[in-house]
Homo-oligomer: A and B are copies of this chain.
Amino acid sequence: MAVGKNNFPEQMHAVAGFRLGTTSAGIKTPGRKDLVVMALEPGSTVAATFTRNAFCAAPVQLARTNLAAAISPRESSVLQQGIRYLVTNTGNANAGTGSQGLENALVVCNRLAELGGVDPAQVLPYSTGVIGEPLPVQKIVAGLPDALASCREDGWHDAGIGIMTTDTRPKGASCRFELEGQPICITGIAKGAGMIKPDMATMLAYIATDARVAAPLLQRLLSEAVDASFNRVTIDGDTSTNDAVTLVATGLGPEISAEHLETFRARLVAICQELAQGIVRDGEGATKFVSVLVEGGATKAESLRVAYTVAESPLVKTALFASDPNWGRILAAIGRSGIPDLDVDAVSIWLDDVLIAERGGRAASYTEQAGQTVLAADEFCIRVDLGRGKAVETVWTTDLSYEYVRINADYRT
């Protein structure tokens, strides 16, 4: 149950200096891939954004600490080589696990560092899955040699599967382009299907490029790209404890000059948006992929607030599931979104190009048939003009189906 075609690209361009290895460590059901190691060329730069959930998971705490140390190495000369490994387990989030959780994440990093001949601080850990259960650290440690041994530059597809939890399919995006005759790749994978309302980061996503980019610039580029992609999707309004987006630049390809910065930035945003939208298309129980575009806001913040209120309204989402153009629910959601002094007579609402409401009521030209035709498709846009200014924001979301309830009532029990 996912919207649109399987969007994992046939061709995932290998990124020189970035290798991925995947194995089954027995954390999830037997035989399912659940442990992924990514190996970075010495000298790679790394940027990341993490969840702002106050209950962030142990691996998030540790990854944040190690990354900060790697970016500004002070004590250890080995850290001049930067981050060398990313290790991800699924099936268990190692969140809500207190100090034991942190200790378990350290054990995993220590063991991988030992196997790879690096310092434990050069490893970033990631976990995703059930919250509040002890991390099965022995299974993970036992699986590390196999995951490490299988690391290859063309390991993207297996890794895309290895990071899945309730996802029904892997999510990937890849591009290759030239800057002054020199080829550059950006390739990434993401996972996520529920507990999706990113806050400055999202779910898990790993993106690598062979470009040479200094760490501070890489962080700025990633933060901007995340803001235009992962931070604009919502499935259920629940922000995960484990969200992380990581961008690696191996530096084996050309350096990004100031002149080409915009080209690179645009390509990176496109990759992030493809991955973020891939997560929404695979949202738990999703039968619709819906863009909520709010224009005419006085500020971007208010346009975004209206977009999220519409996108997260259970009544709007169940109407979308029913392909029912129940625009009264959209109007009610806009009205409760807390915009001060909203002039309802200035608000207009469209389904794709069909004007459905204006001046506080149904548009004279609107017919139920026209609305139903739009909603019969599995992808469409709800467009709102607030008539107050020029700020535009877009949020991508899904409907709310029986399947959503089934997945989330069954999960874990």
* Residues on A facing B (Cβ under 8 Å): 52-56, 93, 95-101, 130-132, 194-195, 197, 199, 236-241, 312-315, 318-319, 321-322, 324, 326-329, 331-336, 339, 342, 344, 357, 359-362, 400-402, 404-406, 408-413
Known: A329-B131, A339-B54, A360-B98. A238 touches B405 (CB 8 A): no
| A344 CB contact (under 8 Å) in B55, B197, B240, B361 | B55
Which residues of the partner chain B approach A328 to less than 8 Å between Cβ atoms?
A: 93, 95-96, 130-132, 241
| Closest chain B CB from A372 CB (angstroms) | 9
| Cross-chain contact of A96 among B53, B132, B361, B401 (Cβ < 8 A) | B361
Q: State how many angstroms separate the Cβ of A136 from the closest Cβ of chain B.
A: 15
Query: 19 extra interchain contacts, Cβ-Cβ under 8 A, other than A55-B344, A132-B362, A199-B336?
Result: A54-B335, A93-B328, A96-B328, A131-B326, A131-B328, A132-B326, A132-B327, A194-B315, A197-B336, A236-B315, A238-B315, A239-B332, A241-B335, A314-B400, A315-B408, A318-B405, A318-B408, A324-B409, A405-B405
Q: Which residues of B contact A99 (CB under 8 A)?
A: 361
Which of B100, B319, B335, B400 lies in contact with A56, CB distance below 8 A? B335
Across-interface contacts of A344 in B (CB, < 8 A): 54-55
Given contacts A98-B361, A324-B412, A405-B318, contact A331 B238 (CB under 8 A): no
Count the copies: 2
Residue in B52, B326, B402, B410 whose CB lies within 8 Å of A405 = B402
In Å, the complex CA distance between A55 and B330 comes to 11
Q: Can you name the residue of chain B whose Cβ is closest to the Cβ of A235?
A: B314
**Chain B residue contacts of A312, Cβ below 8 A:** 237
Chain B residues with Cβ below 8 Å from A326 are: 131-132, 411-413
- Assuming A54-B339, A55-B344, A336-B238, is B362 touching A319 (CB within 8 A)? no
Cα–Cα distance between A195 and B361 once the two chains are bound (Å) = 19
List 28 interface pairs A-B (beta carbons < 8 Å), by A numbering.
A53-B332, A53-B335, A54-B334, A54-B339, A54-B342, A55-B344, A95-B331, A96-B327, A96-B328, A97-B362, A98-B362, A131-B331, A132-B326, A132-B327, A132-B328, A132-B331, A236-B314, A237-B314, A238-B332, A239-B335, A239-B336, A314-B314, A314-B404, A318-B408, A319-B408, A321-B409, A401-B405, A402-B406
Complex: A14 Cα to B55 Cα, angstroms: 53
Measured between C-beta atoms, what is the minimum distance from A233 to chain B in Å? 15
- List the B residue with the shortest CB-CB distance to A333: B238
Measured in the bound complex, the distance between the Cα atoms of B130 and A410 in whole Å is 33
State whether B96 touches A362 (Cβ < 8 A).
Answer: yes
The reply to whether A195 and B332 contact each other, CB–CB distance below 8 Å, is yes
Tell me which residues across on chain B come within 8 A of A336, comparing CB atoms.
52-54, 197, 199, 238-239
A335 partner, pick from B55, B321, B322, B331, beta carbons under 8 A: B55
Centre residue among A95, A96, A199 by max chain B CB count within 10 A: A96
Q: Which residues of the partner chain B approach A54 to less than 8 Å between Cβ atoms? A: 334-336, 339, 342, 344
Q: How far is the CA of A342 from the CA of B335 in the complex (A)?
A: 31
**Measured CA separation A19–B350 after assembly (Å):** 45
Inter-chain CA distance A326–B313, complex, in Å, is 23
CB atoms of B360 and A321 under 8 A apart: no
B237 touches A360 (CB 8 A): no
CA distance A117 to B400 in the complex (A): 50
A318 touches B409 (CB 8 A): yes
Most buried by B among A199, A239, A328: A328
In whole angstroms, what is the CA distance A241 to B132 when docked?
A: 40
User: Would you call A413 and B322 a contact (CB within 8 A)?
Assistant: yes
Name the residue of chain B whose CB is nearest to the CB of A403: B405
